[in-house]
A and B are shown apart, each in its own frame.
Chain A
Amino acid sequence: MDKLKPFLEHYFGYTTFKDGQRQIIEAVIRGEDVFAMLATGSGKSLCYQFPALWKNGTAIIVSPLLSLMENQVQELKQAGIRRAAAYNSFLSPPEKEYILRHLNDYKIVYISPESLQQPEFASRLQKLDVSLLAVDEAHCISQWGHEFRTDYLRIKEIRRMAGNPPCIALTATAAAEARKDIMEKLELTRPFIHCDSVDRPNIYIDVRKKKNEEEKRTTLQDECSRLPLPGMIYVSSRHKAEELAAFIREENGLKTSAYHGGMSNEDRRLVQQQFLNDEIDVICCTNAFGMGINKPNIRFVIHYHYSKDMESFMQEIGRAGRDGRQSLSLVLFDTADGMLPRRMIEHEFPSEEEVRMVSHDPERPDVVSSRFLLERYGLEEVHARFLQYYIQTWQKTKGAEPLDEFVSAVIERRMEWKLEKLKQKEHWLHQTVQCRRTTLLEVFDEHKTSTVSPCCDVCGEHTMHGQEQHRNTGQQALSWEERLKWILHQ
């Protein structure tokens, strides 16, 4: 008899599994390692939540998205699963201490990769019965993934400390070389592998080259007046996000808002909630927006600045049309746009100057923490963590070459590779002969299997301009008393 289904219904309220979920869950329950590439919104989290509740012991979920883990814990609690916790830097010391002392009592503990490294957590882990170790956003472990976080590399050490529990690695987008790398880095043994196709046939892919910024703006404004709503516009700077939000609001009379890392937490939450509630027509955002957001009815994603590689691009356009209805991705670019991603890539690494300063500091202790680097040299957090990791790696080589040369060589290699990925992306943008979908899928070692129509700007036109726009009429014009009345249901 099938025991999984009643369990699913009881704890999660679903009556059936989605594609692939069942096989993955069964493999995890059998104690196998698993690698799963699943589109966002296809029930990724169930793949570890289900086995976590099913098995004895405590499941450790590594996730870099703090807000996402808070949400998931809340959802679990709402569903009556109270023995869940999120362990991260938001917690106060007593709160952390409480969780650590009661670790055994939890079924699921979410943790950020940074917190996972903390000695107090690692030491408790050794005494814990770990039912499974799940690594979300697993592409972060690979140097060949579109985001690379050195903290992730230490997960395998933690796994050994916890007595090699079964491990499940999850990601939404990873190209072939990154997938292989993830499995190696996590030391997955003969893993069960499941890969969804990255293709999203209901998203029409459009790329348009413009002469200059002025033309881009005109096209943007025109598209926002004709495409069905709601939609997203990706840009690469906070300033541009604000500027375009104001532009579309004034020119098109739409409800818009910017979203970027420079806003306060509270404001970011508000904008996110407004967007989810359909109170905003168009959101102008940097790539700070989107992670962990599941809004089904986004009709278009416009890249006003293009992203630095195909994987990021895929992930960003994948936010459109989760409801399965016809949607559109549009990239607008001019020849000057190449500057931005190049500057961003450069900025991902500490500067030559900084590397030299750290290397030649006679007072640098043998063991450096990223906090030390942060405070002593005024490095940015990502740079500090990057350096800290490579100083450690360098120490393992017994310092055969000077530290700065070692680190500079690493940076050069990484940068070169990133530029390669960028060029691949640019090549894809500039060519106008081959089907966009076909060439996009090739990056992920996939082939276009069925005929998709409408497909892309090379294959033919789309019909979305004829559709109704569904502008937000909203309740924005309410007086404060009316608003109070509505909110308190009077």
Chain B
Amino acid sequence: MQALPFRRQMFLLLAERMNQERSIQALYHILTGKKSSQTIQDIKWYDVTYFFRMFPYWKETEFEQETKDMQNNRYIASENNRIIITEKGRSQNETFRCDYRWPPVFNGWLYGKSAAVFWKRTALFVQCLSQTLAGNRRFLPVFEDISVQQWLKKNWPRTIEGKKQTASELFVELRDLLRELDDGDAFLVMNRISGYHLTGQTWTQLSNRLEMSEDECRFRFLSAVHYLLEHADRSSTLVRAASGLAIRDILTETTKKTLRYMNEGHGMEQIARARNLKMSTIEDHFVEIASEQKEFPIGDFVTEDDQRLILHYAKTLQTKRLKVLKEAVSPAEHLDYFCIRLTLAFYGRDDNGQA
């Protein structure tokens, strides 16, 4: 069996998880990390947070072309606007899984945005330390974002002794952390860093060196950064690079507003009127809140019996598809789509039974 280009392989793995449930487009939003209520619910329901924001740079036109190719080659199909993985696709995945070492952590949902800032701070800190200790003051900083430079100023060791000490501590800390990763992943991290007389390598250069596609290089690198971020508390420099970063923006901005109204005791219709939004939008917000907050008063919306009924069907029918579930629970006429979505969101992935 022929290996697929890395991003297509990742897409295919995700397709298997979403089989017959979602459109091809929905997968695009997950892989590029779109922050919409729908996508956020998807990654939780299907337990695929580790695919979120894997390829934020994937262009939509490319994606369309590449997935069309995959349909033509019969890895996937699409029916009623839902993705279907073929037998060929499944066995392709099987082969891939057999000899692929998945990195210890990759979680674009938790770390996606903050990892980028964390990395910029870390790389700039190391570069400046390396150059300054070599007595070189004229160099091109790898990042020029004003916010990152301000962070650096605040955290910059003032004295030469402080710099030397930081360097030797950071050396041990980074070495120990990176040793816990595959050699190739540690190599990627160190070769993206610039220092005195050693400049970081571009993705093309690394791809040539490691004979690995650029997509995979970037994925492995990012996963290593996620690892460093997850273990930042083991290094005094890294923990400062991670400070103040919201590890996860739990709710979208607009949902936060709705939540404030909700906490003040307003009902859904009131909120819709006050915010001049459609009811369906407010419903989306409530579903998002239900998926995030364990203290969400779900009982106010769906009785316990009904919750149990919905979860029962979700489990036995092995689906999260609303239409199917709606039909299954249809004898209970008062149960609308909103009740079903709310319940599924609230219980999230804990009992989705398809790990």
A residues adjacent to B (C-beta < 8 A): 70-71, 74-75, 78, 90-92, 95, 242, 249, 257-258, 263, 266-267, 269-274, 276-277, 279, 475, 478-481, 483-490
Contact = CB atoms under 8 A, between A and B. Distances in A.
B174 interface: yes
Interface stretch (B59-67, B87-95, B181-189, B258-266): B181-189
A113 B196 CA distance: 35
A83 to B, nearest CB: 17
21 contacts: A95-B146, A257-B205, A269-B140, A269-B142, A270-B199, A272-B140, A274-B199, A277-B197, A279-B199, A475-B197, A480-B178, A480-B186, A480-B189, A481-B175, A483-B190, A484-B174, A487-B198, A488-B130, A488-B168, A488-B171, A489-B134
B202 A271 contact: yes
B167 interface: yes
Contacts, number: 94
A277 B204 contact: no
Given A78-B137, A480-B178, A490 B199 contact: no
A480 B126 contact: no
A75 B167 CA distance: 25
A269 B139 CA distance: 11
B193 to A, nearest CB: 6
A273 B197 CA distance: 10
Contacts of B144: 70, 90
B298 interface: no
B9 interface: no
A487 B175 contact: no
A285 to B, nearest CB: 13
B277 to A, nearest CB: 26
A483 B198 contact: yes
B167 A258 contact: no
B168 A490 contact: yes
Contacts of B195: 486-488
B191 interface: yes
Contacts of A75: 138
Nearest to B139: A273
Residue among A78, A271, A485, A488 with the highest chain B CB neighbour number at 10 A? A488
Task: Please give me the 8 A-B residue pairs with the lowest Cβ-Cβ distance, nearest first.
Answer: A487-B195, A480-B190, A267-B202, A488-B171, A274-B199, A480-B187, A273-B199, A488-B167
B171 A484 contact: yes
Nearest to A255: B205
A273 B194 contact: yes
B189 A263 contact: no
A490 B349 CA distance: 47
Contacts of B170: 488
Contacts of B199: 270, 273-274, 277, 279
Residue among A70, A90, A249, A481 with the highest chain B CB neighbour number at 10 A? A481
B103 interface: no
A266 B140 contact: no
A480 B197 contact: no
A128 B71 CA distance: 63
B203 interface: yes
Interface string B105-129: 0000000000000000000001001
B200 interface: yes
A247 B351 CA distance: 55
B191 A483 contact: yes
A106 to B, nearest CB: 16
Nearest to B164: A489
